[in-house]
Structure 1
Amino acid sequence: MTTAYLNNEFIPLEEARISPMDRGFLFGDGIYEVIPSHGGRFVGLKLHLARLQRGLDEIQLELPVSYDELTTLMKTLVERNGSGSLGIYIQVTRGVSMTRNHVYPSDVTPTLFIYTFDIGKPNEGDPDTARLWRVVTGRDLRWQRCQIKSTSLLGNVMHMMEGVDAGAEEILLFDEHDNLTEASVSNAFVVSGNTIATPALDQHKLAGVTRDMALSILSDHGDFNVEVRPVSRTEVGAADELWLSSSTKELAPIVSIDGKPVGTGAAGSVWCRAQRLMAAHRFDDY
């Protein structure tokens, strides 16, 4: 049984209830965050909480507890749920208003919901145990504020299903200029030789915490050429390796794109080196 937290109460997850008049339910009016933990240790906690605050600021919403209180709540949930390899899901919505109106109400208390879920032990850079990903490509049709980690994820869900319906596990998205943006639930990296590149951030991309950690770790502790710049569809198609990155995947090798193998069709040697560095610095103070 999973223990969750909802509005000042620890309860079994299956007993968690919100009002149908909660603006998160009616409008997707909320922000969420997912923080990985392993053995009770958080990964990238400072970066995750900073991104949570940026999202709250974007939609003029206040966290109903202090960040010290939030961290204590997360630690308590991790302990109550076994302290394994867990993702901590945090969702803050504007709360319950009995009048459905697009205007932000001023007389409501935000809803805070937190629960944990199993994410499995992270890979240490072993190609034999790596999860391998197949992707397809498509045009990015989401809204123009993808930098906000909003609970309104229908655009991402529809793109994910586009990939699944095509027989893949993810989809790489491209803008109107045929430049890579990101995947439906992940950032993306392109590897050519010893050069690792990822698109620069803008309103089409979420500032992934694992992306930010990888850029720092690979630049500071590796011998790679790490670049942040536009990445074209042509470069993606010619890459030696392609990776996904997210808090629950860390760095994940893509082995096929639109039905064609990437490189050798297996986890590449650069990915092995990079993921070993990620594992060595997983709990650094980010």
Structure 2
Amino acid sequence: MININGELVENSSFITFENRGYKYGDALFETLKVVHGKILFWEDHYFRLMASMRIMRMEIPMNFTMEFLEAEILKTINGNGLATSSARVRLNVDRGDGGRYLPKNKAICYSIVVELLEDDFYLASTKESYTVDLYKDYFVAPGLLSTLKTNNKAINVLGSIYAEENKLDNCLLLNTNKNVVEALQGNLFLVSGETIKTPPLDDGSLKGVMRKQIIDVILNSGDYVLDETSISPFELQKADELFITNVIVGIQPILQYRKKIYGTKISEDILKRLNTKLRLS
């Protein structure tokens, strides 16, 4: 069952050829993890969505409160029989149908799609190999728009095809200044000694919700130093560890970049602290 503007309908075609998200990528989305009816980091997701809608000049409906959208998400979860399971949720908002580049109306539409997830908490990766390389065919533009989760993900699609063709597990994206900004499916962290670096949002990095959680864990750890600064490709092979973060997998350690092999000690420690934070919240 899919939630379309508050109505649960069977999983069938509901997007018209005139839909602005389909035609122009004039849409935003949030990817959420819901565990036994609890939306993880819901407040952070909600405020990111509201801020993104303002940047996209979308008129936020009066009923788009945190409570309303939470109820709609949980209604969709329940309608799919996942109230006592873990689920991946995509909340999509767009300006509906009509217009070319200039929207014809100001009405906001939303849809909610859910699917089952196996794991409740974030688990340490059991993969024996996780190899990445740089994707250099196209580059991310530094600036505010690149930090948003819009439906315009062409570089991620092309990078994913490149990764599959070259038997890679993931690719790292560069911005037009040739700095590393993120992975195809999440934010990037680089460990060097006790310092953990992550690219700043000004470089064009996605304003990830899990990125924010990991930054909070690092800042409150008392053991590590956080450095939000640009990362040069030359630093990758000098690092002790690299890891990728998103709300679905939590932390994915990178095990190999070209000939460099990485450890996982720090990423595993950060993951334990993240799960402890979740249990206490």
* Secondary structure in 1 matching 2:244: strand
* Secondary structure in 2 matching 1:160: helix
Partner of 2:267: 271
Partner of 2:234: 234
Partner of 1:94: 95
Give RMSD over aligned pairs: 2.2
| 8 Å Cα contact 1:63-1:92 kept in structure 2 | no
* Secondary structure in 1 matching 2:146: coil
Aligned ranges for residues 22-41 of structure 1 at < 5 Å? 22-41=19-38
C-alpha distance after superposition, 1:3-31 (max 9, x if no partner): 21012310122x24122111111111111
Mapped partners of 1:86, 1:48: distance in 2:
16
Mapped partners of 1:54, 1:133: distance in 2:
34
Mapped partners of 1:151, 1:33: distance in 2:
10
* Secondary structure in 2 matching 1:270: helix
Partner of 2:44: 47
Classify 1:284/1:210 alpha carbon distance in 2 versus 1 (closer, same or farther; 3 Å).
farther
| 8 Å Cα contact 1:244-1:251 kept in structure 2 | yes
* Secondary structure in 1 matching 2:185: coil
Alignment of 1:58 onto 2:55: yes
Q: Give TM-score, length-normalised by structure 2.
A: 0.89
- What 5-or-longer segments of structure 2 have no aligned partner? none
Mapped partners of 1:216, 1:189: distance in 2:
13
Q: Identity rate of aligned residues, in percent?
A: 21
Aligned ranges for residues 32-181 of structure 1 at < 5 Å? 32-64=29-61, 65-67=63-65, 68-81=67-80, 82-83=82-83, 84-97=85-98, 100-105=99-104, 107-121=105-119, 124=122, 126=124, 129=126, 133-139=130-136, 140-144=138-142, 145-181=145-181
Q: Give TM-score, length-normalised by structure 1.
A: 0.87
Partner of 1:217: 217
Mapped partners of 1:126, 1:34: distance in 2:
21
C-alpha distance after superposition, 1:207-254 (max 9, x if no partner): 111011100012213522222112221211111111001111211111
| 8 Å Cα contact 2:21-2:95 kept in structure 1 | yes
Mapped partners of 2:194, 2:120: distance in 1:
24
Partner of 2:189: 189
* Secondary structure in 2 matching 1:151: coil
| 8 Å Cα contact 1:125-1:274 kept in structure 2 | no
* Secondary structure in 1 matching 2:202: coil
Residue type matched to 2:70 in 1?
T
Greater relative contact order, per chain length (Cα 8 Å cut-off, separation 6+): 1
* Shift in Å, 1:118: 2.8
Aligned residues: 274
- What 5-or-longer segments of structure 1 have no aligned partner? none
